[in-house]
Structure 1
Amino acid sequence: MRRSLSKVLGPVLLAAAAIGVSAPASAANGDFLGGCDITLTTPDATACQGYYSGNVLSGNSTDIGLQQSAIAALPGTFTWDGNWTGLVNDGNVIGSLTNGNELNFGETLFGQTIIGAHFGNIQDNLGNSGNVSVFWLFDFGTEGASSVVLDNIRGFSNAALYTTGSGGGVPEPTTWAMMLVGFGAAGFALRKSRRTARLPQMA
């Protein structure tokens, strides 16, 4: 009887052990999952970094380094000093969507803009789902943008604004040249009118 019981239980225990080994452990907060998609927003992002498990958009000291490394992995030269309170609204740029799926900034953002977002339940075209965070790089140019539409994304929680270009962008060199010529012409005209006013009137 003992022998037959071990014959029956042996394979069952081995199968259970194999299932336990092969079953993936749940991701810890901040684990890099990959699979972010730049086409999940309108306009499309220029680049993205993530996904990361859980909500890593906080001033928690354990998340600062992760945010810094995620931002550093994006193209461009911006580096974040880790000062959460130095960000717009202490980083909490928005906590809800308008018009169903529109991330509205409440102001016009210009140039290269980095936004981090957390989703309690996200499903994208790569099949990624779950409690994740992502970092997007946008280029809003000199025209700017006051919102981004989240395409096919559910469970939005909150977003953080890390950096944005200056309002209206930096003028092109030709624009600077035209401005200098204009200032010079205005100065010359002003000087000439003053000189003319000083000349004595001939009777």
Structure 2
Amino acid sequence: MKAVSIALAATLACVATAGQASSVAYNSAPADTWFYGNGNDYSPANTAVLTTDDNDQLYLRWHKTFEVAPASDGNVYSFTLGTEPMSFDWGIDNNGGASITALLTIRNLGTAQTVSYDPFFVGNDNESANGSVQNSARLSFAFLSGVGFNPNVDDTYRLTLDVDGLAGGPQSLSIDAKLGAGVPEPATWAMMIGGFGFVGGALRSRRRATPRLA
């Protein structure tokens, strides 16, 4: 009986996991295309698109305002210093029609400043069609000033869209905007610090080994 219970629990766990499965395609396009505003259906779309087993979608992209989004390297969009204004576009394709909640978070990786907001309650200009809702925002907007955007500083800004209530369960999608050299990843910082330590140690050893002249 115990073995049957364990097997049943494992089966249910597998079913739950499968129901929440998703995949992400980069430099892609949302199923319902970009339709928010006039002239924003840029081609190529160069969008990060998360698709669930239930064919719901979350999608995001970074770009210079009024210009085509560059192709990303994985989830990283790269820009030259001085790129301004900077915009991000977001969209949710809720094919199941369930009642959902969402949160958009922008994090400055260089300063750890973070701004979060509910995209459904900021302004009233979201556009909807075929079960999708879309909009965009600029990092220069006043309500995003807390993230400390400076186009002339090497930095990376991480955009995350979290959605709850979809048929496949909670989903999350993140993309980065890297300005200039961006912010080194933690592993890179560790290598740099280790390198500095090695050089310092070598210099100390050299000083100790240098003979004094009489």
The TM-score normalised by the length of structure 2 is: 0.27
More strand, by proportion: 2
More helix, by proportion: 1
Larger Rg: 1
The TM-score normalised by the length of structure 1 is: 0.28
